[in-house]
């Protein structure tokens, strides 16, 4: 009887699951609209007073997305003022809505990967999982790994789509 061999395990492939780099918690939302006069106009004195009264502790060690859901024209310094209030409290302050905050955090997590650990290796970027991974994440991981890997593939170790192979 022939011995069973795990050819996938013997292949030396390294798998990266992008789901592991997806932000682990939802960003908190800071909607400027709630601090505007009639949700449309920024009155500096009132704006500053309402920010002073705001409970900033709720943002402790969280990513905070700062945006305005109304069509108000908000001066740029208002965003700077909010960032200053969150300094030392929030994990990160991101200009944009929920989706933009998730995108920026996801990209930052991918960029924090030490590409040297994949140098000269055959890497598979996992293609299926419990969560839908946006296309920008695949572009980011490609940008990160292409300069160092021997080959880059997409899919599962048992069924991959070749993306890149370094020329000798």
Report if residue 1 sits inside a domain.
no
In a domain, 50, yes or no: yes
Give the Cα separation of 40 and 43 in Å (integer).
Answer: 10
Structure confidence at residue 110 as a pLDDT band (50, 70, 90): very high
Helix 76-86 to helix 44-53 angle (10° resolution) is: 20
Q: Is residue 77 part of a domain?
A: yes
pLDDT at 53: 97
Residue 84 above 90 pLDDT?
Answer: yes
- Residue 11 in this model has a pLDDT that exceeds 90: no
Shared domain check, 87 and 46: yes
Indicate if 68 and 89 belong to the same structural domain.
yes
Q: Which of 3-7, 28-32, 57-61 has the lowest mean pLDDT?
A: 3-7
Check whether 101 has a pLDDT greater than 90: yes
Residue 8: is its pLDDT beyond 90?
no
d(Cα 4, Cα 148) in Å, to the nearest integer? Answer: 33
Same domain for 19 and 33, yes or no, is no
Helical pair 98-111 and 135-145, crossing angle rounded to 10 deg: 20
Looking at residue 99, its pLDDT comes to: 96
Q: What is the mean pLDDT of residues 112-129?
A: 94
Domain of 152 in residue numbering reads as 7-23+105-165
What is the number of domains present in the chain? 2
pLDDT at 3: 60
* Predicted pLDDT of residue 2: 66
pLDDT digits (tens, 9 = 90+) for 46-74: 999 999 999 999 999 999 999 999 999 99
Where is the domain boundary, 59, 79, 99? Answer: 99
Whether 111 shows a pLDDT value over 90: the answer reads yes
In this model, does residue 9 exceed pLDDT 70? no
Q: What is the pTM of this model?
A: 0.83
Distance CA(43)–CA(9), nearest Å, equals 64
Check residue 168 and give its pLDDT: 73
């Amino acid at each position: 009887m022939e011995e069973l061999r795990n050819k996938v395990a013997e292949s030396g492939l390294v798998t990266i699951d992008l789901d592991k780099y997806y932000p682990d918690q939802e960003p908190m939302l800071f909607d400027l609209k709630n601090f505007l006069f009639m949700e449309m106009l920024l009155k500096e004195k009132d704006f500053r007073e309402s920010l002073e009264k705001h409970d900033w502790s709720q943002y402790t060690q969280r990513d905070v997305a700062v945006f305005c859901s109304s069509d108000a024209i908000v001066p740029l310094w208002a965003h700077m003022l909010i960032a200053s209030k969150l300094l030392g409290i929030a994990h990160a302050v991101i200009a944009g809505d929920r989706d933009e905050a998730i995108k920026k955090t996801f990209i930052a997590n991918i960029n924090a990967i030490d590409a040297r650990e994949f140098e000269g290796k055959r890497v598979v970027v996992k293609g299926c999982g419990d969560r839908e991974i946006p296309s920008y994440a695949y572009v980011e991981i490609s940008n990160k790994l292409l300069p160092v890997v021997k080959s880059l593939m997409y899919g599962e170790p048992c069924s991959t789509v070749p993306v890149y192979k370094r020329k000798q």
